[in-house]
Structure 1
Amino acid sequence: MGIWKYALLVFLGGCSYGVISSFVKLGYGDGFGIGDLTGSQYLLGAIMLWIITIFVPKIRLSVKQWLILLISGMPMGLTGFLYNKSLGYVDASFAIILLLQFTWISIILQYIFDKKIPDRKSIIATAIILCGSVLASGFLSSELTFSLVGIGWGLLSALSFATFIYVSGRASITIHPIYKSAIMTTGATLLVFILLPPVFLLNGAFADGLLKYGLLIGFFGSLVPPLLFNIGMPKVGSGLGTILSASELPTAILMSTIVLHEVVTLSQWTGVAVILFGIAYPNFQRRRLSSHT
């Protein structure tokens, strides 16, 4: 499998994460709270992953390795918690812009922990994606609700997501990606349950319709992304992986038209095109350099 195929997996992982915002919004509309939706998402996502692990090879892990993988998955759960918190204070379009700040935060994390100075094409691609995100979110054409608390939650979700992407790019424990994803998602679930006690398990929320949202959000938000990131990130690296993961916003815009029937303006579609160009830019540069060698 060439590196471009691994890049495609990371791109699809970002797309999958972008799907869940519409389902979360529908869940809020049906009266479910952040604890119901976030908790059921990670719990059912973990259960689905553990079912799949029945069919993949597993190795015996030490207690230390288990703890490392569990802790490595916690930023994923923290991202869901923080992002959903921000949605309670600011409009969804603005919250998405805040989450997209993970692109430049990831560059800073790589510099701090890996002493890796970002190359010119990564900086240019990040700038293009951020400009496109402002257009795609509708930030310039709508009246948004501003809240310092909401901005704080949103920026923290960006930091958490950048941390998760960075961790996904580390391949220190070599095990099957599905097995690794199951353990990491379990760690995310444990953290979410600490932050949001799972009262939905006792109050009959599953029978009232939460189950369908938990399965949908769990599949697209807690099963597919960690699995594809764990397969692709070690191959493409967290630098390119960060850029590819920005596919989340265009997907969120597309899903809002399909699922929520929201009107998307020409400027928003222009922003989507700009983001896709920013994602593709480093690959264009890489092909151009390889063609001259």
Structure 2
Amino acid sequence: MKYALAVFLGAVSYGILSTIVVKAYDEGYQLGEVVGSQLLVGFVLSWLLAVYIRFKAGRNERRNAASSAGTPAAGTAKRTGLTWKQRLLLMSAGVPTALTGLLYYQSLRYIPNSLAIILLFQFTWIGVFIHAIRMRQRPNKLMLLTLIVLFIGTLFAAGIVDQGLTHFDALGVVLGLLAALSYSLFMLSSGKIVPSAEPAFRSAWMITGGLIVVFILFPPAFLFNGLIWGHLLVFGLLLGLFGAFIPPVLFAAGIPHIGEGAASILGASELPVAVMLSAIVLHERVSALQWGGVALVLIGVALPELVKRFPQTKARSFSHRA
């Protein structure tokens, strides 16, 4: 349960972000300042954790070496060492993360928070299609059913059914969908890049790559003009903590123990949290039809894993009765 709770809390942390970003925009801060301060805080926290893990591993190795008459312990500090090629690969994997943040946060300037998070969740079916094209395989019937449920749920959750298409800004919708595309590319590639590396170091190098990209696109003038010492530091700390530090650490701790399927179900908790905060904190109107759409999207995310587990559950139930 503690590993499932870790993944759940990581997803909830992601769900908080968009509300904080909207509040930062209300204070007059710009996109580059918001994303830059978030990644800067995440960069500092991630490297502090990585350095602590390396120090702890080195101390354990020295203790084990002393107790075994100079015989080096297996694992420990050696696993934290990466070649520069591996570091550059991890930094490149952090680029889609930065682009996702930039596109997603920019979409919040044009469309409601509740719609932006729903558009971001389209990474579920976008990732399926990218995988199918890459593997040259047609999605099976279960996946097609899942995509249909997700599509119908999105129509309701986005408010298209009860408000129509003219209610939304086209640029914001495009930015939201591009964020979903970028996030799906990140999901498809990140787990395959240097998977043997210590999770803390993987996260630190990926955030480093994302930070460099953001600072190239938006030079960090806020570091020199005094803005960082105002409310921007508070927003940066919140976004960095809940967006760039806590979720990667909790996911790295929980997902290997519960599996990717269960993690995708628990990870979907980001959606209702974001929509709920939109209604409570930002006072956005979320109708009953939209909440029904959110429920359908959650069902669509969970459907493949539930169907996969159903025969196993049924078989166990039959064996107990026997």
Q: State the TM bucket, normalised to the shorter chain.
A: 0.7 to 0.9
Which residue among 105, 110, 130 is the counterpart of 2:131?
110
Gaps of 5+ in 1: none
Cα 1:201–1:271 change in 2 (3 A) is same
> Does structure 1 residue 95 correspond to structure 2 residue 116?
yes
2:93 to 36, 56, 72: 72
Which segment drifts farther, 87-96 or 270-279?
87-96
Q: Kindly state the Cα deviation for residue 120 of structure 1 after the two structures are TM-superposed.
A: 3.2
Output the CA distance in 2 between the equivalents of 1:117 and 1:264.
36
Number of matched pairs: 288
* Structure 2 equivalent of residue 156 of structure 1: 178
Q: 1:42-81 residue pairs with structure 2 within 5 A?
A: 42-57=39-54, 59-81=80-102
Q: Secondary structure at the match of 1:140?
A: helix
**Equivalent residue letter for 1:202:** F
1:5-37 CA-to-partner distances (Å, cap 9, x unmatched) read 56x655554432221010000000011111111
Residues 43-72 of structure 1: per-residue CA shift (max 9 Å, x gap)? 111211111223324521101000010101
Q: Which amino acid aligns with 1:47?
A: V
Task: State how 1:97-176 maps to structure 2 within 5 Å.
Answer: 97-115=118-136, 117-142=138-163, 144-147=167-170, 149-170=171-192, 172-176=194-198
SS of residue matched to 2:230: helix
Q: What is the percent sequence identity of the aligned residues? A: 41
Partner of 2:70: none
Contact map agreement 1:41 1:217 (CA 8 A) in 2? yes
Match of 1:276 in 2: 298
Give the AA of the match of 1:196: F
Q: How far apart are 1:181 and its partner, in Å? A: 0.9
Inter-partner Cα distance in structure 2 for 1:159 and 1:224: 23
Contact 2:13 2:246 in 1 (8 A): yes
Does the Cα contact within 8 Å between 2:94 and 2:207 map onto a contact in 1? yes
Per-residue deviation, 1:243: 6.3
- Once residues 230 and 117 of structure 1 are traced to their aligned partners in structure 2, the CA distance between those partners, rounded to angstroms, is 31
Q: Give the TM-score normalised by structure 2.
A: 0.78
SS of the residue corresponding to residue 179 of structure 1 reads helix
Q: 2:153 is paired with a residue of what secondary structure?
A: helix
The answer to which of 33-42 and 276-285 deviates more is 276-285
Cα pair 1:93 1:138 within 8 Å, conserved: no
DSSP-derived class of the 1:89 partner:
coil
Cα separation, 1, equivalents of 2:288 and 2:107: 26
Give the 3 Å change call, closer, same or farther, for CA 168–266 of structure 1 in structure 2.
same
Deviations, residues 196-215 of structure 1 (Å, cap 9, x unaligned): 11111112112220111111
Partner of 1:185: 207
User: What residue number does 2:29 align with?
Assistant: 32
Match of 2:277 among 245, 255, 258: 255
8 Å Cα contact 1:93/1:139 also seen in 2: no
Contact 2:118 2:157 in 1 (8 A): no
